[in-house]
Amino acid sequence: KQEVTQIPAALSVPEGENLVLNCSFTDSAIYNLQWFRQDPGKGLTSLLLIQSSQREQTSGRLNASLDKSSGRSTLYIAASQPGDSATYLCAVVGGTSYGKLTFGQGTILTVHP
Amino acid sequence: EAGVAQSPRYKIIEKRQSVAFWCNPISGHATLYWYQQILGQGPKLLIQFQNNGVVDDSQLPKDRFSAERLKGVDSTLKIQPAKLEDSAVYLCASSSMRQEKLFFGSGTQLSVL
């Protein structure tokens, strides 16, 4: 059974800092890994999707890396802003689960001015 | 492009009552998912449809939960009878293909008293 863990559970940083969110998964046989953002009272917004054959994806100030063999992914946020405050969720799709995402519990990020 | 629509936004019921949620996916998206998100946890897949067929319902409590997707478009999720532990946000998501980027609705927040 796939298990996804995110560290830290919560993070508070001053504006402008570069930061790293961590995600680990127990079964390395994944199809892809996705990072989502969730704002309070809202649904999830997909940020980045990394296929199992890729090592990283970038979008603006966000960069996600994937090390499938070690079961790890990191989300790097450059020059953080107060608008980045949200919960960030990592999810993996198993190699044989046909689209079933297994989510981590999320990292609550607060960026203060 | 219109997003995933869900209703109602909030629902408060007493235990043993029944409740239904509705989802309209993005036009043309063949795959539809229902997730349950308990406070402080990541979303958990309840059921996945491919067109109007069920792909995965292994984590759906079938003694009280049911879901259908008529004509491969809209979907409804029903709980009957509700229990206190069903209090959660119910998220609907859709994608154009299996295992690809998911688009989420804003969710229905259910409180069972």
Please write the tens of the pLDDT for every residue from B13-34. 999 999 999 999 999 999 999 9
pLDDT computed for residue B102 by the predictor: 87
**Residue B107 Cα, gap to closest chain A Cα (Å):** 6
B108 touches chain A (CB under 8 A): no
In chain B, the percentage of residues whose pLDDT exceeds 70 is 97
Q: Among A36, A91, A99, whose Cβ lies nearest the Cβ of B48?
A: A99
- Give yes or no for B105 touching A (CB within 8 A): yes
3-state DSSP helix/strand/coil percent for chain A, to nearest 5?
A: 5, 60, 40
Q: Is residue A41's pLDDT more than 90?
A: no
Taking CB atoms and an 8 Å limit, are B101 and A49 in contact across chains?
yes
Tell me: pLDDT of B86 over 90: yes
A39 in Cβ contact with B89 (< 8 Å): no
Using one digit for the tens of pLDDT, what is the confidence trace for B97-113?
766 788 999 999 999 99
